[in-house]
Amino acid sequence: MDSMLDQQTPDSDPREPAGAATPEIAPPVADGPAAGEPDHLSPPPARRPRRRRFLGPLGAGLLAVILFGAGVGFDRAVLLDGPLSAGAPAATTNPATGADFALIQQAWDLLHQQYVGASSLDSKTLAYGAIEGMTEAVGDTGHTSFLTPDELAASEAALAGSYAGIGAEMDTTGTEPIVVGIFRDSPADRAGLRRGDVVTAVDGTPTAGLPLDAVVTKVRGPAGTPVTLTIRRAPANPNAATTLTLRIVRAEVTIPLVEWATIPGTRFVDLRVEQFSSGTARSFTAALGAALATHPSGLVLDLRGNPGGYVNEAVAVASQFLRGGTVYLARDATGRETPTPVSPGGIATSIRLVVLVDQGTASAAEIVTGALQDAGRATVVGVRTFGTGTVLGRFDLADGSALRIGTVEWLTPNGRRIWHEGLAPDVTVALPDGVRPVTPDDLAAGAGGAVGDDGAADGGSKVAWSADVQLRAAVSILTGTPPIAGRSDRFE
C-alpha cells in the first residue's frame, strides 16, 4: 500500500464504524444523520496503509498519506456523520474511584514538584497526554482515540475531500519514503515530482530513520507556504544526476475520490475508490454510470489501500451492486445486532464483478467487501484485509477536543467478525515485493501494462503484461479462466 505525501485520517467521522484518506456522482445518497442521531459510517483504524492517504498518525503496514496542512492522518476507521451526545450521566460498569483519581493527581503533582524543568510544563499538554494515554490503554488501536482541536479540524477537512498540501502520495513502509502517486495539476505535479522518487530530505532534514509523523509534520503546512524536497530519482541515463531539489508551494488540493478506466485489450473496466470521504457515493455513482455507458462485460472494483471513511458512503456504494439484503450488521455492547439494509436503486446489480483488496483495505472498504462477498455478488481477490471492526462515535469535549470511541462492532451480513481478523479473499494473490498496484490513471496513461481479451499473455501484440498480478488475476476470473476452485459461477 502506498502512503500519500499529504495526510488524512483513515475513517474518521463524527460517527464512525470500523476504523480506517474525494468527490463525484450516482443515485441519491443521504448526507448522513444530523448531530446526535445514530449513523453508520466507516473510517479506519491506524492511518491507512495504501497508496492514497493523508499524512498523520497511521497504523501498521503501508500508509497512504497526503500531506495536508494542520492535521492528523486519515485512520482506518468507520465514522459516523457527526458528533454524538454523551447524554445524561449514567452509571458505568467500572466507575473510577477516588483512589484512581488520587493516583493521577499524585503523578501530576510529582511531575510539577520534582521534574527539573517543571517551570516549562504546560498543563494542557499534560492533560491531553493523560487522555491520550487512557484511550491507548483501551487497546482499540487505531480506533478509539483522542483528538486535539487542531487534529479534529484537520481530520474533518481531510474527510471533506480536500486539504492544504502538495498533492503527492508516498509509501513509507520502507527505510525511505517513496512517492507512489501524484495528483494531476497539484503543486507536486507542477513542480515536477514523479512517482518512484525517493524523498531523502525535507527542508534540508534527512528523512531516513524519521517516524512518519515527523516526516508529515515537515511536509505539510498552510497553503501558500513553500517546502523544499530533496529527492533521489532513478535516471533513464545511468550517467545522469540522481539527486534533485524541488521547491514546492503548498496549496489547497482536491482529492480524487474515484477513478475509472477501461483495461486496455479487454472489455473490462477498472474502477477504483480511494477512500469513503464525504461525496464518495455521489462521485462513485457518476463514475459507475459513465463506465457502464461504455458497455463493459465486467468490472474490477479496486479497494486496495482504501482506509475507509464514512459508513453511509460505504452503504451507498455497496448498494449500487446489490438488489436487496443487508450491507452489514451492527452489534452493540449488549450483543444486540441491528442490520443496515441495502439502499434500493442500484445500477450495476448483474454485471460480473471482482473486488481487489490488500492489507490496507480497511473500515468502510471492508464493509463494502464483506457485503459483496457474503451476497455472492463478487469474487474477492488479493490478501487478507486490515481488520477494522468498530464504528466510531465522536464525543466533543469542553475545549473543542474530542474522543472517538468504538461504540458498535460491525459484522458482515453473514455474521463474520472483522475486528482484528480482517476478511480473507476468495482468491489469494499477493503482489511481489516492490510492485505497486496499477491504478485507472496508470491504465489511461498507458503505464503499468495491460492484458489481452482472453486474460492471457498475448506475446506483446497488444500490450505487455502488467506486474500487477492481482489485476491480472481479476481479468482472468472475469474471462472465466481459470475457474475458482470449489466455487460455482457466481456471476449472473
pLDDT at position 447 over 70? no
Grid cell in block for residue 235: 535516471
**pLDDT at residue 304 in the model:** 95
Whether residue 130 has pLDDT greater than 80? yes
Q: Which residues does 146 contact at the CB level (< 8 Å), separation at least 6?
A: 128, 131, 132, 134, 135, 401, 402, 403, 404
Sequence-ordered list of residues with C-beta below 8 angstroms from that of 180, at least 6 positions apart, any chain: 2, 3, 51, 169, 170, 171, 195, 196, 436
Cell of 140: 482499540
Tell me which H or E stretch contains 371: helix 364-374
213-227, 232-246, 389-403, range with the lowest pLDDT: 232-246
Cell of 323: 438488489
Q: Which of 164-178, 219-233, 437-451, 457-471 has the lowest mean pLDDT?
A: 457-471
The rounded mean pLDDT for the chain is: 77
**Predicted TM-score of the model (pTM):** 0.70
Tell me the pLDDT band of 37, cut-offs 50, 70 and 90.
Answer: very low
pLDDT above 50 for 486: no
Confidence category of residue 426, pLDDT binned at 50, 70, 90: very high
Given the C-alpha cell 512517492, which residue does it identify? 179
Q: What is the predicted pLDDT for the residue at 90?
A: 47
- Average of pLDDT values for 434-453? 71
The residue among 13 and 436 whose pLDDT is bigger is 436
pLDDT at 110: 97
Q: Give yes or no for residue 449 having a pLDDT over 60.
A: no
Q: What is the pLDDT of residue 79?
A: 52
Per-residue pLDDT tens over the stretch 92-114: 556 677 888 899 999 999 999 99
What pLDDT sits at residue 347?
98
Model confidence band, residue 179 (pLDDT cutoffs 50, 70, 90): confident
CA separation for the pair 446, 460 (Å, rounded):
14
Name the band, by pLDDT with cuts 50, 70 and 90, for residue 400: very high
What separation in angstroms does the CA of 2 have from each of 6, 54, 105?
Answer: 12, 10, 43
Residue 74 pLDDT exceeds 50: no
- Residues sharing a CB contact under 8 Å with residue 440, sequence separation 6 or more, in sequence order: 259, 260, 261, 270, 271, 272, 302
Quote the pLDDT of residue 78: 53
- For the stretch 238-251, pLDDT in tens is 666 589 999 999 99
Domains 16-86+148-254 and 258-389+409-479 share a fold: no
Banded model confidence at residue 382, pLDDT cuts 50, 70, 90: very high
Which of the given ranges, 145-149, 189-193, 424-428, 446-450, has the highest pLDDT on average?
A: 424-428
Query: Which of 99-103, 423-427, 437-441 is most confident?
Result: 423-427
Residue 83's pLDDT band, with cuts at 50, 70 and 90, is low
What pLDDT score was predicted for residue 441? Answer: 85
pLDDT at 16 over 70: no
Asked if the model's pLDDT at residue 12 lies above 60, the reply is: no
pLDDT digits (tens, 9 = 90+) for 347-368: 999 999 999 999 889 989 999 9
Give me the pLDDT at residue 305, please: 86
Q: Are 42 and 20 in contact (CB under 8 A)?
A: yes
Q: How far apart are CA 194 and CA 168, in angstroms?
A: 9
Q: What pLDDT was estimated at residue 390?
A: 82
User: Which CATH number is 258-389+409-479's, of 3.50.50.60, 1.10.150.120, 3.90.226.10, 2.60.40.10?
Assistant: 3.90.226.10
The class that CATH gives domain 16-86+148-254 is: mainly beta
Q: What is the pLDDT of residue 46?
A: 34
Give the pLDDT band (50/70/90) at residue 184: confident
Identify the bridge partners of residue 179 per DSSP, sorted by sequence position: 170
Sequence ranges of the domains in the chain: 16-86+148-254, 102-142, 258-389+409-479
For residues 391 and 80, the answer to whether their CB atoms sit within 8 Å is yes
CA distance 172 to 62: 6
**Residue 153: pLDDT over 70:** yes
| Whether residue 274 has pLDDT greater than 70 | yes
Q: Is the pLDDT of residue 201 over 90?
A: yes
- Rounded CA-CA distance 228/218 in Å is 10
How confident is the model over 327-348, as pLDDT tens digits?
Answer: 999 999 899 999 999 999 999 9
Q: Give the model's pLDDT for residue 66.
A: 33
Expressed in angstroms, the distance from the first to the final Cα of the chain is 32
Please report where in the chains the cell 463493459 appears, as a residue: 296
**Grid cell at residue 227:** 517546502
Whether the pLDDT of residue 5 is over 60: the answer is no
d(CA 145, CA 181) in angstroms, rounded, equals 29
140-164 burial string, b = 16+ CB within 10 Å, else e? bbbbbbbbbeebbbbbbbbbbbbbb
